[in-house]
Amino acid sequence: MEKIDKILINAKDIKNRVAQMGALIQTDYAEKSPVLICVLKGAMVFYSDLVRQIDLPLIFDTISVSSYGAGTSSSGKINIIKDLDCDISGKDVIVVEDIIDSGLTMKTLTLTLKNRGAKSVKVCAFLDKPSGRRVDFKADYVGYQIGDEFVVGYGLDFDGKYRNLPYIGAISLDEGERE
Ligand code: IMP
Ligand code: MG
């Protein structure tokens, strides 16, 4: 069984950082009406906090994607399980993601959205794990950079659990549990 080893980022720090990120987006997108895309399910909690820190006429949308397994090469393919509802052509798009690890999901998704004719595509990720990168990818807005550890809470899961924790915790896994 896994267990929470330590609290990496507490709820108060999360709140302050999300407010800063929202303020930055509000400034950068002044006079605009960007489409904020929530990448389900991991970004749900971050997304719901972030949007309430941005005083702009935002358009909400959601997408659910699955990346191919770790064994597959950077083929540039993702599986869209639930697609967007709106047409993003000509729109300013901000993809809201929980964490960037290998970078494969965001690199591919942003390319897909650009190919649909979005006017601009930026990525706002709450966490960034640079040590996991397999492709060159940099998010435009990042809450925190973290080291090579597996984190849960604030939307992030292990085996479907822990998404509802109000903080980011690091978990330790028994041997063989970590892919
Ligand atoms: P990648 O950047 O394509 O490797 O995909 C990142 C996705 O992997 C995230 O959206 C998460 O769903 C998942 N992920 C990566 N690292 C963690 C972690 O430490 N905890 C929970 N999920 C993670
Ligand atoms: Mg995810």
The active-site residue out of 49, 92, 101, 128 is 101
pLDDT tens digit string along 65-120? 987 655 444 555 789 999 999 999 999 999 999 999 999 999 999 999 999 999 99
Task: Please say whether the beta carbons of 179 and 70 come within 8 A.
Answer: yes
pLDDT over 50 (residue 121): yes
- Grade residue 7 by pLDDT with cuts at 50, 70 and 90: very high
Judging by DSSP bridges, how do beta strands 168-172 and 3-9 pair with one another? antiparallel
The pTM of the full predicted model, rounded to 2 decimals, is 0.94
Using a 6 Å cutoff on CB, does residue 104 contact ligand 1?
yes
Report how far ligand 1's centroid is from the alpha carbon of 56 (Å).
29
Using a 6 Å cutoff on CB, does residue 108 contact ligand 1?
no
Task: Please say whether the beta carbons of 107 and 137 come within 8 A.
Answer: yes
Q: Distance (Å, rounded) from C-alpha 87 to C-alpha 77?
A: 21
Q: Sort 44 into a burial class: Cβ within 10 Å, 0-12 / 13-18 / 19+.
A: middle
- The identity of residue 156, as a single letter, is L
Using a 6 Å cutoff on CB, does residue 95 contact ligand 1?
no
- Residue 61 annotated among the catalytic residues of the structure: no
